[in-house]
Amino acid sequence: METRTEISSLGEFGLIKRINEKIKTTLPDTIRGIGDDAAVIDSGEEYGLLTSDMLLEGVHFDLTFFPLKHLGYKAIAINVSDIAAMNGIPRQVIVNLAVSNRFSVEAIDELYEGIKVACKDFNVDLVGGDTSSSRSGLMISVSVFGKVGKEKIAYRNTAKPNDLLCVTGDLGGAYLGLQLLEREKQVFLANPNMQPELEGKDYVIQRQLRPEARMDVIYELESAGVIPTSMIDVSDGLASDLLHICAQSGVGAVVFEERLPIDEQTFLAASELNIGPITAALNGGEDYELLFTVSQASYELIKNNPKITFIGYMTDKKDEIVLHTKGDSRVPITAQGWT
């Protein structure tokens, strides 16, 4: 009998690893294939960058609380974020849609309204795509082409011991925003007369529904003359994404708990939902901030940038990725992708 292996036994990362092992690139201008935030293509003067991400109804979004306009915006932003994570500039996007007859023309107009705003915000051109009917629900898949100067590219596998570890913005908000929205949905389903209690929670809700790609920081690093020694965007959670940098670079890391940037609203939502704010910051996901390392010489050049927090440093102790707690103990940082 043929063997059947459950995908859940590999997990997302195990599955990608397995695909990667079977694929070998052969073209001389394919500089980097599977394994980073975007593929890297030699285009002469510069490198081209290519990346893709899809959002599926019922898996990545729930239309009972996700406005279509925001969904369109998010689909572009999370793809631009992967170009940012290579220290690149996004240029063109392609949008693939699968829609069921549940959706009206007006609904698709709304989705494209959000796509249009994002294209303007991130200065990219929408240049094509594909449209199909779907038996169930909505699927939106976006691919982005970007570019980066060859000497400026930031990979995941080039962090060095003693580099400083930095993160942009704050963490954990998007996850808690989602938990709040899910809770309000349950309350509403139980009693449709209930009004949602989301006052004073606008920031975390916005973190979930309308994430930003941190292109602003990419331009500021450029002005400061800083090229990260490695970079990734925080899509799966700080822990998971830091583990990617460490594993691929062959280094360890120390992260200081008290340095983790967490917004006031994130703290409040965490306590209301009985979720540890540090857990949300480490494992929450979907914040789409940038996690990067810089050489110590770069410290002076960006230490005053309020969008950047120095949260730790890299070590030569491969496999030792630890959280230095407020109580001065050290606990291993572990992570999972989706299963």
The residue ranges that bind ligand ADP (CB under 6 A) are: 16, 19, 34-37, 53, 82, 235
Residue 34 binding result from Mg ion, ligand ADP, none, given CB thresholds of 5 to 8 Å by partner type: ligand ADP
Shorter beta-carbon distance to ligand ADP: residue 35 or 196: 35
Q: Collapsing DSSP states into helix, strand and coil, what is residue 26?
A: coil
By a kind-dependent CB cut-off of 5 to 8 A, residue 16 interacts, out of ligand ADP, Mg ion, none, with ligand ADP
Q: Dihedrals φ, ψ of 230, to 5°?
A: -160, 160
* Count of residues in the chain: 339
Nearest distance from C-beta of residue 222 to ligand ADP, angstroms: 21
135: which DSSP letter?
S
- Pick between residue 34 and residue 194 the one whose CB is nearest to ligand ADP: 34
- The interface partner of residue 163, options being ligand ADP, Mg ion, none and the CB cut-off 5 to 8 Å by kind, is none
How far, in Å, are 90, 197, 218, 292 from residue 148 at the CA level? 9, 44, 11, 17
Least distance to Mg ion from the beta carbon of 85, Å?
A: 5
- Residues in contact with Mg ion by CB under 5 A are 37, 82, 233, 235
d(C-alpha 163, C-alpha 312), whole Å:
9
- Smallest separation, CB 233 to ligand ADP (Å): 6
Which DSSP helix (H) or strand (E) runs through 51?
strand 46-56
- Provide the minimum distance between the beta carbon of 36 and ligand ADP in the complex, in angstroms, as a whole number: 5
Q: 233 or 287, CB closer to Mg ion? A: 233
- The least distance separating Mg ion from the CB of residue 35, rounded to whole angstroms, comes to 11
Residue with tokens 């998007």: 174
Query: 277-295 burial string, b = 16+ CB within 10 Å, else e?
Result: bbebbbbbbbbbbbbbbbe
Q: How far is the CB of 16 from ligand ADP (least distance, A)?
A: 4
Nearest-CB residue for Mg ion: 37
Q: Which is nearer to Mg ion, 170 or 287 (CB)?
A: 287
Binding partner of residue 35 among ligand ADP, Mg ion, none, CB cut-off 5 to 8 Å per kind: ligand ADP
| Smaller CB separation from ligand ADP, 270 or 335 | 335
Shorter beta-carbon distance to ligand ADP: residue 83 or 333: 83
Q: Which residues of 187-203 are buried (b: 16+ CB within 10 A; e: fewer)?
A: eeeeeeeeeeeeeebeb
Q: Which is nearer to Mg ion, 178 or 291 (CB)?
A: 291
Residue 224 near which of ligand ADP, Mg ion, none (CB within 5-8 Å, type-dependent): none
Neighbours of 267 (CB within 10 A): 15
Paired strand residues for 149: 46
Apex 57 CA angle, 266 and 83, nearest 5: 65
Please name the residues in contact with 128: beta carbons below 8 A apart, sequence gap of 6 or more.
94, 95
Least Cβ distance, residue 285 to Mg ion (angstroms): 11
Shortest Cβ 144–Mg ion spacing (Å): 11
Identity of residue 255? V
Residue number with CB closer to ligand ADP (53 or 110)? 53
Q: Of ligand ADP, Mg ion, none, which one sits near residue 241, judging by CB under 5 to 8 A according to partner kind?
A: none
- Chain centroid to CA 238: how far? 10
